[in-house]
Amino acid sequence: MKKRIALLGSTGSIGIQALEVIRLHPEHFQLEVLTANQNSKLLIEQALIYKPNVVVIGNDGLYREVFDALDPHDIKVYAGEDAISQITEMDTVDMVLVALVGFAGLKPVIHAIKAGKPIALANKESLVVAGEIVTQLINEKKGSLIPIDSEHSAIFQCLAGESPDSVKKIILTASGGPFRGKSLEYLGTIGKTEALNHPNWNMGDKITIDSASLMNKGLEVIEAKWLFGLKPEEIEVVIHPQSIVHSLVQFKDGSLKAQMGLPDMRLPIQYALAYPERLVANFPEFSFIDCPKLTFEQADIKIFRNLALAFEALEKGGNSPCVLNAANEMTVDAFLNDRIGFLQMPDIIEECIQTVYFIEKPSLDDYFETDRLTREKAVSLLRKFS
């Protein structure tokens, strides 16, 4: 039987590539739900092409536009952030792919887990913010969560058939982004145009800026802790400019397993949707002959302080990663709108971590309150820097 997919965040980079994977395998997948927050025009285009049963637009003010376009085609339309979460509980949904960006992914993930739906996760922030609660819920519900981030998909694949006790550490690779090897003086002069020019990956603006600052890797470090039950000292970050080795696992006997391939997000998306099967793909394939040189180097946490801040938040625990994430979302938005410079982002994030009140054992409500307070703090700091 076809696997019926609810795709949350269909108009973003991951969502668009997920639709391509679904289109390439009509015998395996059926699109049941599409959701988007603001991009009503693209959501309507996608719905007319893929004919889902249900569409949700997060912005209530755009409901009438979407409804008028899709109602004649017998596509149900709902609106609001709560509807995006509630739609995951539909009986006609077999798997939920969460491609939402940022804190907004947390509620839908929790709803999907409680509804017993397998999750293909491309929203790292839900585990960064509330990893303990999310993993506890998965264990209680005997749920399934398959990561889509290329690095975590690589680790997931390398651990298949291995005992957790055999793992010494995992090694997350990072391309280094557009500013690998650059000095602080140089980073003080750049703007969003340079930061959005990633050498290997085609991603949305927010994730691309996170990659340029290495915050994306910091968030992945925190996510890996919860996905794979690791201690901070069991997670290492290595710069790998070619983005061919997507990550590695080192075992207690010293051996290493790596998952490799061209930098193409369709591969981990397809793997997550089809798991435990591996489907045939017609994507370009890596050749050692075409790329004979693979290099690795240490990450510079003095230049890229966001990575160091992420490790510090992970060590501190509690609601610190939630503060880190909220402050980062605010600073990235400010940078993209030319309100602050590249090097001011870690300054604001660090002050938020130091000043927003610490909760050692936060509840779900505490996480939402922490997110709100951190954003308020970031706003006040941004006024000073702007």
| CATH number, residue 351 | 1.10.1740.10
Domain extent, residue 359, equals: 317-386
Do 138 and 191 lie in a common domain? no
Domain co-membership, 198 together with 303: yes
Domain limit, last residue, from 297, 312, 327: 312
Check whether residue 174 and residue 195 sit in a common domain.
Answer: yes
Assign residue 62 a region (left: φ > 0; alpha: ψ between -120 and 50; beta: otherwise).
alpha
**For residues 340 and 346, what is the distance between their CA atoms, to the nearest angstrom?**
11
pLDDT at 101: 87
Which spans in the chain are helix H?
13-24, 40-50, 63-70, 81-86, 106-114, 125-141, 150-158, 184-187, 192-195, 205-213, 215-228, 266-274, 305-316, 320-336, 344-355, 364-385
Domain boundary among the residues 147, 174, 198 is at: 147
Question: Is residue 345 domain-resident?
Answer: yes
pTM: 0.93
Q: Are residues 223 and 177 in the same domain?
A: yes
Evaluate whether residue 110 is within a structural domain. yes
In this prediction, residue 308 carries a pLDDT of: 97
**Domains in the chain, number:** 3
Same structural domain, 246 and 322: no
Cβ neighbours of residue 335 under 8 Å, at least 6 residues apart? 192, 195, 209, 341, 342, 344, 345
The last residue of a domain, from among 93, 119, 147: 147
Within a domain: 273 = no
Q: What is the pLDDT tens value at each position of the chain, 386 positions in all?
A: 899 999 999 999 999 999 999 999 999 999 999 999 999 999 999 999 999 999 999 999 999 999 999 999 999 999 999 999 999 999 999 999 999 988 899 999 999 999 999 999 999 999 999 999 999 999 999 999 999 999 999 999 999 999 999 999 999 999 998 999 999 999 999 999 999 988 777 778 898 999 999 999 999 999 999 999 999 999 999 999 999 999 999 999 999 999 999 999 999 999 999 999 999 998 999 999 988 899 999 999 999 999 999 999 999 999 999 999 999 999 999 999 999 999 999 999 999 999 999 999 999 999 999 999 999 999 999 998 76
Rg of the Cα atoms in the chain = 20
Domain contains 14: yes
Does 128 lie in the same domain as 10? yes
Phi, psi of 95 (to 5 degrees): -150, 145
Answer yes or no: do 70 and 172 share one domain. Answer: no
Q: Are residues 237 and 142 in the same domain?
A: no
Q: Is 7 helix (H, G, I), strand (E, B) or coil?
A: strand
Tell me, yes or no, whether 133 and 15 share the same domain.
yes
Residue 214 Cα distances to 121, 208, 309, angstroms: 20, 10, 10
CA-based nearest residue to 122, from 267, 298, 297: 267
CA–chain centroid gap for 345, Å, is: 19
pLDDT of residue 385: 76
Q: Does residue 219 share a domain with residue 333? A: no
